[in-house]
A and B are shown apart, each in its own frame.
Chain A
């Protein structure tokens, strides 16, 4: 099915564990983004990627690692999860035209709880 999918939808993990959130898109969009959503903060950009093998930091990158070996996949890894990383994580993809983002498509989100 066409679209952008995140997995898992829900995840509970313990402090200190490594956890990877997956994001897959079928449009071959060049740009992909990871956000976290917390009450009172809106959506904050963690990392983004302009193309395969090109990634860059967003507003809140500390404690996270990303990779993009294939255009369609953009996994987000929490190397050693902390309780402050409890959040809802959204992945998005977009094309770019004329130097600006076009409509970004969002996944359904992953609700991560770190205990």
Chain B
């Protein structure tokens, strides 16, 4: 079963609006990665979070890892059509664990 849960599974947002995608784990996360996938293509790395409370931004996308390191959120400000795609969170669930596993994904649609 998937140990990383993302919500919502799909999201339809009007262009210009803000949105948030969540990634939740039942276990402590030692490394949390956000990727974006355009339809029919491979995954593109967005950012990586390691420390509890850490926050990173890239252009209009901000990601946070909560203090307990069990949940991360991805926030997009003033959404644009280029933000459309599938967002996936990935995780290292223990330090030194070599497996890089992913959540179920969130499909984001931006409507004009």
Contacts and interface: CB of A to CB of B under 8 A. Distances in A.
A90 B41 CA distance: 10
Interface stretch (A12-20, A37-45, A68-76, A79-87): A37-45
26 contacts: A31-B98, A40-B104, A42-B4, A43-B90, A43-B101, A43-B102, A43-B105, A44-B102, A45-B99, A45-B102, A48-B99, A48-B100, A50-B98, A56-B98, A58-B99, A100-B30, A100-B95, A101-B31, A101-B33, A101-B98, A101-B100, A103-B45, A103-B48, A104-B43, A108-B42, A109-B40
Interface of B: 2, 4, 6, 30-31, 33, 35, 40-45, 48, 50, 88, 90, 92, 95-96, 98-105
Contact of A42 (B44, B48, B102): B102
Nearest to B50: A100
Q: Is the interface of A mostly helix, strand, loop or mixed?
A: strand
B101 A59 contact: yes
Contacts, number: 76
